[in-house]
Structure 1
Amino acid sequence: RIYIVRESDIVAYNPSTGADRTLSHTDNAEFTEALPVYDGQNLWTGALNGPAFFTPDKKIPGVEIPKIIVTRVLHGTGTDAGTELNPSEITVAGNERHLTVEFAALDYADTGSLRYAYRLDGDTLWHNLGSEGKLKFNRLSPGNHTLYLRSTNSSGHWVNNTRQISLKVEPSFWESWRGTGVILLIILAVTGAAVIVYLQRRDNVRMSEINEQQRRTLEEITRVMHEQAVRAQAAREAEEARAGNTQEPPAPAPQASDYRLESPTIIDEDQEMMQRLLKFLDTRIGDENLKIEELAEAVNMGRTVFYGKIKTLVGMSPSDFLRRLRLQRAQKLIANSRMSFSQIAFAVGFSDPKYFTKCFKKETGMTPSEFRSKNQLSDNDA
């Protein structure tokens, strides 16, 4: 064996086994470069505080293998894992995923030289912890894990003292099959509710579109039939005029209050309803956005009932009846005022003067200019 004196310690080396060991001293001697002396029993060395000596071992031991024990286990709440000393299995609750494990190697020759390392499950490399025998885990995944611990001896050599500890990490409620089932049920319920709401809204939109299309179709049919009737009447009058070789002026259109286009028979209730309707129209005749629903509401009727009542009384749809009254009001304004035709069109509820001129000619057989030239009073007459 060979003793190597260094600045602050002595290393005992066995050349036959390759083992070395650092000898500990209680006096914390700092050695000098003075040559050691062996007196047959003690080995003397020079030190700053005077000579120091020790008795060499007759046999240099090999590499010692200290045992690793677990000294303390702390859960995430800071509570002890239990009273069991050096457990081989640790159970971690689902709501406590933070774990601290404290351990130590039983080698007290020189504890300052001990080093620790660990690895978990399938790790292929050891993670060095230094001289602190403490390991902290944050957010362990649920399941079974194996923790491996190892250390050096007091000489600083890594030795084969690996310690295995089983970690059983319980799943939380949401990580269990019950929690997964609840999550799936919630997802299915939300998805089903969303699908039902979507289908209901889609059906409502489709029904609204169908009803609106039917309404427009009905109004268009009514308008076309009325225009055809007007054209047929105009053709008959033109034919009669050619046959009689006369050019009689067209009969003046009835006034807005004269709603009896085909001399219908009106009972008292109808008379009262029509008076309310005409009174309402007299104040709203210039509103281009006036809707049939508003006319029905003004006489306390639903749209369908109102449509049928007007059709029965005046022989035309509410839309045509409203247009007829507007054109009647326009005739008064053309004959009795000097307003421009565009002003008159806007005043009776037409947003497009060109469309107003077209409708006016269909109604009276004359353009607004021709009608004014024929019917407006002169200044002297006025």
Structure 2
Amino acid sequence: PGNKIWAGHSKGLVILDTRSKSYSRVTSQNGLPVKGVLSITPDLEGGIWFTGKYNLCRFDGQRYHCFDASSDIESFLYMSSALGQDGQVLFGGANGLYAFYPGEIDLAGNTEPPRIVLTNFKVFNHPRKLGRAYEMVKKITVEHRENILTFEFSGLHFLNPNRSKYKYKLEGFQKDWVEVGSDERRATYTNLSPGAYTFHALAAKADGSWPTPEEGLSIQLIILPPWYSTWWAYLLCGGVIIGLLLGIRRHELKRHHARAEALRLSELDAFLQKVRILVDEELSNPHLDIDYLARELMVSRVQLYRKVKSMTGRPTSAFIRLLRLQKAQLLLTTTELNISEIAYKVGFTDPSYFTRVFREEYGMTPSEWRRR
């Protein structure tokens, strides 16, 4: 149909686009409802009909519609298909010729997903009682030593269970689905690592398509870790290690505290001393600003703010005010200058404001400080 050539082979379909000269492969791994294609033919309505060993399928451009043994179909033959001039589709089978008109086929029938249930769970190949009927189980917990586990499952209402197809995977361990027939409805796993997994199993619909994982069987599997891998064991071991490390660290800190403290104070004093000198040089200047300090210290306003704040706990402007107040303390103690003179001398333009911030800083007025 169109500009495409369809070819079947033992593993699926190859679709060649003659216009773009590209091709694609379709297999059971990416949606094809059969493992291999025996015969293939188009119909007059733009559909593609093909056969697997026991399946007759049609692709309408969007989805597959399949019929199998439950629809009275037996095995098909290799390369035995034809399209009649009147639109009749023909396939050769083991017991004769299948001939039909596509418009007479009910493609919508029997698409309900079979219900699939757990029928047995084994540990070391021995059935394990789970406290309730297997079909009611949603979660299974085992010890880490129990490292040979088998899930057995079955679909309940497929019309021909002997031709049923299944696929399963253990989420958290397997990336791809494993497809099996009706005589292989079991999955065995060995030496799984402790952790959380989810076992999924699906039974194919009567048309050969697969239901979604939400429509299938899902069982949470929890494999408990050994005691030495549990959280409380890690916590205990971690506590011992942390205790030892803290003891060693405490000893090292005591031995190196004086040196580290001296180094820290030296670095702190070096920067703060530069700030103090610059402020002291301009102390009587009420217009001394942060930009001036930043330029002289060769740092940005933001860097100056961060350094001063980290070392003194005060913003730069508050630290400058503190230096003015400290100088005022000295003048109150060592000179006979009055309060207003001292305020102007340390860079305040309003003696009342000076008195207020002095009280906020030291809990008393300048006059009270001098009397003390």
Does TM-score exceed 0.5, indicating one fold?
A: no
- Greater gyration radius: 1
**TM-score, normalised with respect to structure 2:** 0.29
Which is richer in helix? 1
Structure with the bigger percentage of strand: 2
